[in-house]
Amino acid sequence: MPQDGLLQYLIAEEYTPESLAKIRETLQAHGTHAILPVEHGLFAATAAPAANNVSGYHNVWVRDNVLVANSLRLRGELAPAIACMQGLSQFFARQRPRFLDITNDTSRLLKDDVQRRPHIRFAAQALSELPEKWPHAQNDALGLALWFRFVLANSGALPLTAADWETYELFPRYFAAIEYWQDRDSGAWEEGRAVRNSSVGAVVAGLEEMREYVRSPDQQRKRDDVCAAPDTLAKLDHLITKGRARLAATLPFEAPPERLADSALLSLIHPLRVVRELAEQDAILNLVQARLKGEIGIKRYAGDSYFCQDYDQWFAPGQMSSDFSERMTYRDALLQPNCEAQWCIFDSQLSIIYGERFLANPPEAESFRKQVYYFNRSLRQVTPAGGCPELYFLKNGEYVPNDHTPLLWTQANQAQALHLMERSVRVKLGAEV
């Protein structure tokens, strides 16, 4: 376990508003949850990295930006969430030729060249593509972006313009062209390609949120200066049905039979709420807790070789976070049994999930117990300096955080977990209904 963490004397089995206020005060004093954009409202993967950082974490990932912006939204910080989405929309508008090339490709072969697909990692300052090869076949990132854009539109926080619609109406056409429900992509972990339910589910979430918008009253669409084609709703229904069928047949597994348990599936519960039935949620949650929970954090999946034991001995700094999508065999061969990295994004995500369950049904004590349990695990991951790491990995036999600290994804999840913990404690005390 990490020793002498920042919050070790504040972690408790039972909390009061006052004890949580002390935790918040300590985190604020250390800037633990401080999240600042770099340009165009967008966020780098890690806070304030150098522009020449060899890890590449000074760049923008679509996925991370959506998840960070959504955390801000849920905590009432709408302005930076909207600014982030506007930045992403500007980038996607520049990606229009890539969407159209694949959509209009009658051979259906162009999609197999992942460098020709819309890019999901780019430079914030110029909203420009990066020159290096990257596994851009990541349907979950595009699904998340579509979902969040229409969450903001449906809530009235950021109405669509005609230009926005021109960009985002490309997404379902693109998903149809690649047949997303059976498309092999690199998924959230940017590795070898497979048909992944975490990706299929993210696209379903985006399409369903877009469908909600198209179904909205005519006055809403007129106000937003948007005019959907008459067959848009039918096409969305068709695409959603395809994705839902895949999920119904193969969940709670990620990419069966090769990959069963995968922490990426947690996103289908929070924030996407694609999996709504508690029994179906439990199947995913049970797999993650039974197979992937470690002493410090939670593995992405069993057999994950990214930041395996002594990882910095096997790869030079510029290689550690490079594109391994076509070189997985060698990296996997370095992994010793049970030496996967333990990540810091998932414990807070589990606390959020159980917190949302408790708030929906306050008499349900077990959800509250698990909310506290995973909240405490996430607090123990904070470094003595107040950083939220990406992960802990084994270095010379001891778990240490890697250099991707603070990771904005971790910060965003933990900030939301604290926000919900404060709400749950107030409800528990009868101070909030």
298-337 pLDDT per residue, tens: 999 999 999 999 999 998 887 877 777 778 899 999 999 9
The band of 171, judged by pLDDT with boundaries at 50, 70 and 90, is very high
Q: Which two tokens stand for residue 287?
A: 């797999």
pTM of the model: 0.95
Q: pLDDT band for position 219 (50/70/90)?
A: low
pLDDT at 394 (0 to 100): 97
- Tell me what pLDDT residue 229 has: 85
Mean pLDDT (whole number) for 61-90: 98
Q: What does DSSP assign to residue 122? A: E
Q: Measure Cα distances from 342 to 47, 154, 267 in Å.
A: 20, 37, 18
- Which domains are present in the chain? 1-30+292-433 (no CATH), 35-291 (1.50.10.10)
pLDDT of residue 1 exceeding 60, the answer is no
pLDDT-derived band at 52, boundaries 50, 70, 90: low
Between CA 295 and CA 264 the distance in angstroms is: 19
Tens digits of per-residue pLDDT, 2-27? 556 788 899 999 999 999 999 999 99
Task: Look up residue 320 and give its amino acid.
Answer: M
342 vs 340: CA distance, rounded Å: 6
CA angle 381, 383, 386 (to 5 degrees): 115
Q: Which DSSP string corresponds to 361-424?
A: STT-HHHHHHHHHHHHHHHHTS-TTS---SEEEEETTEEEE-S--SBHHHHHHHHHHHHHHHHH
Tokens of 407: 């990771």
Q: Which of 195, 198, 190, 207 is nearest to 61 (CA)?
A: 190
- pLDDT score, position 302: 97
Q: Residue 36: pLDDT above 70? A: yes
The predicted structure's pLDDT at residue 2: 58
112: tokens are 């197999």
Work out the angle at residue 87's Cα, subtended by the Cα atoms of residues 61 and 116, and round it to the nearest 5 degrees.
50
Mean pLDDT score across all residues of the chain: 93
- For 427, phi and psi rounded to 5 degrees? -65, -40
pLDDT at 320: 75
In terms of residues, how long is the chain?
433
Distance of CA 239 to the CA centre of its chain: 22
Question: Is-contact 394 339, C-beta < 8 A?
Answer: yes
As a whole number, mean pLDDT of residues 76-84 equals 98
On the CB side of 357, how many CA atoms lie within 13 Å of its CA? Answer: 24
